[in-house]
Amino acid sequence: MQQELQELHRTIKQQQEQIILLYNKLGQLGGKTHVVQKKVQFSLENFIGLKLIHIIGIIVLVIGLSIGVKYAIDKDLISEGMRIGLAYGAGLILCLLSARLKSKYLLFSAILFSGGMASIYFTTYGAFVYYSMMPFSIAFIIMILLTVFVVYQALVYNHEEIALLGLVGAYAIPFLISKNSDKPELLFLYITVINIGTIYLGIKRPWKNVGRIAQAVTWVLFLAWAASRYNVKDQWVGYLFMVVFYLLFVFNALSGKISGKVKLQKENFYQLLLNNLALYIGSLFISTPSMNVHSLALVTFINAVVAAILAVVLYSVWKEKQSSLIIGAFAFFLFILFIAFQWTGLTVTFLWLLVALLLFAAGVMRKLKILRMGAIVLLGITLFKLVLFDSLTFTTVQKVISYLVLGILLLVVSYLYQKYRHRMFNEEAEN
């Protein structure tokens, strides 16, 4: 009986594999049936053998190709045309192997394909940027076609690994073979093309990690360039692509909401917040060579306005209260910094107190706890500034005025809490 059970188990297993193979072939023929993979019970060995080794292997292979190309360049071992030809050949071989193995080993084929396309990406980029083997228009068209092809294949394979390695992984390729310090506009245009592909994939498939990783990698590369390789002559390049990246990733975070398919999640809120934070940091780096107190204040004010506009859109168009409050809080923080940069001394103290009073009044009228708490926090910061910093520089008259005004305002806030406590706390209990 045990032998019969084992034989039956082998028969069922063979039939399952045959069904999966037929589904895969049907998907390759253009049918709308999703490509099916056999489910394997999770174990550490399965994870390492079936997934991790493939991914690490292709990454190591691409890095090896990149280092090999760089070594050949440094040692002048082969001609420029031969270097590019061999690099293209390596990428095409990986793609052909992936096509050959696609019917039986779908995941392994996807990994090979993504590695091959990453190789072709950096080869095209290098052929134009470093060897001038093709005009800009041809290189740009090739990059667009490659991106479209990778996006299409990722949808056909229905595997996120292709998007992560074939597109997102392509960001790092130029940095493996050169510093790219002399042509930042080409580097950022190259990254923009890949970003568009990743965002499109995020719309067509529920692969949210692709867009988020793309956002993180893009801003890290941009900020690293702005911090270490930025030159004043490239200021327009920095501002242009900084705005392009910001708008692309705002659209990426809101794409599900724009299409009406899904509600915004907590991850989307943080994605928007980090996008605005990166924009502000990038603005500071780009403006640094000509930076003074007033230009620092202007950059901070512009970023505060941008964040405030996004918060208003989130609330007025989609009634996204939580996300609008998060972005609005960031805008408020930048506005407080703007006041500190634009003015000094007693003026800053009084403006902060005025903003705190208006914010608290808005929190009472709009029945929003977060606004009232923001006002209280600002009052605390103002008191901290007054005691530790302003006391060292203010005259006696300025100290008297500041302490009196702050003390009166604190008492007013306390009185309003006492007067409207039932309304405030009942409302918060209901919420």
- Report pLDDT digits (tens) over 105-125: 777 787 778 778 877 877 887
pLDDT category at 383 given cuts 50, 70, 90 is confident
- 141 is written with which tokens? 């068209």
Q: What pLDDT, in 10s, does the model give residues 192-215? A: 988 888 888 878 887 888 888 889
Residue 86 CA to residue 68 CA, distance in Å, equals 11
**Residue ranges per structural domain of the chain:** 343-425
Residue 134 CA to residue 124 CA, distance in Å, equals 9
Mean pLDDT along residues 394-417? 82
pLDDT of residue 180 exceeding 50:
no
How deeply is 274 buried, as exposed, middle or buried, from its count of CB atoms within 10 A (0-12, 13-18, 19+)? middle
Residue 64 CA to residue 260 CA, distance in Å, equals 44
pLDDT at site 28: 57
- 416 is written with which tokens? 């309003």
**pLDDT > 90: percent of the chain:** 16
Residue 71 CA to residue 3 CA, distance in Å, equals 59
pLDDT category at 25 given cuts 50, 70, 90 is low
Evaluated on CA atoms 134, 140, 146, 149, the torsion sign reads negative
- 75 is written with which tokens? 């040692």
- Identity of the highest mean pLDDT range in 63-77, 183-197, 265-279, 347-361: 265-279
Residue 334 CA to residue 280 CA, distance in Å, equals 9
Q: 54 or 315: whose pLDDT is higher?
A: 315
